[in-house]
Amino acid sequence: MNNNKAVVVPENPVSRFLFSDSRSGLIWLIIRLYVGFAWLKAGWGKIKSDAWTGEHAGTAIQGFINGALAKAQDGGDVSGWYASFLENTVLPNAKLFGFVVAYGELLVGLGLIFGLLTGIAAFFGALMNVSFLFAGTLSTNPLLFILATWLVLAWKVAGWYGLDRWALPKLGTPWTRKKSI
């Protein structure tokens, strides 16, 4: 008996269609545009806000973090380890984090809208969503997190109707054609 032989489990037709078939690109285009415009709107609003990136940069994020820290003290929505991270890392660097959040949201939105490095953009969007969720903020974060996670899973075809169709082959993945002999 050879224990070194790998067992290859075939992919089911639904997941193969959704995550590997370029024909599913239209589904992902709709999801990409919805999530992308949500991020673009949020980021643009923050970039235009004096409290995020202007003269008083960092004050908005300080208020957000203080609210999260109050939720942690109430023993409710924010875990102690995350409250510690917010208090000891984010709060002292609120101005920097204000710029990172604002421009990060804008870049995620643009990446998703244009379908450029879709999987990477969706990953960073999901990371921001989960950060907001850890801070006790629901809003649209659960829905956007789920959709971004699906976009990460569909990275090979989610940007088919976008710039990924041309960018990813130039980067070496994933749509390289086999040369006929």
| pLDDT tens digit sequence for 136-168 | 999 999 999 999 999 999 999 999 999 999 999
What distance, in Å, lies between the first and last C-alpha atoms of the chain? 37
In a domain, 8, yes or no: no
Neighbouring C-alpha atoms within 13 Å toward the C-beta of 89: 6
Please check whether residue 109 is in contact with residue 43, taking contact to mean a CB–CB distance below 8 angstroms.
yes
Determine the 3-state secondary structure of 172 from DSSP.
coil
72: in domain: yes
Buried b or exposed e, range 83-122, using 16+ CB within 10 angstroms: bebbeeebbeebbebbbebbebbbbbbebbbbbbbbbebb
Which phi-psi region, left, alpha or beta, contains residue 118 (left: φ > 0; alpha: ψ -120 to 50)?
Answer: alpha
**144 in a domain, yes or no?**
yes
**pLDDT tens digit sequence for 30-67:** 999 999 999 999 999 999 999 999 999 999 999 999 99
Pairwise CA distance, residues 33 & 28, whole Å: 8
Query: Which domain range does residue 49 map to?
Result: 39-171
Number of domains in the chain: 1
At 146 the three-state DSSP class reads helix
pLDDT of 178 higher than 70: no
Please report whether residue 27 resides in a domain: no
Tell me how far apart the alpha carbons of residues 122 and 174 are, in angstroms, rounded to a whole number.
17
Instruction: Classify residue 56: in a domain, yes or no.
Output: yes
Instruction: Tell me, yes or no, whether 148 lies in a domain.
Output: yes
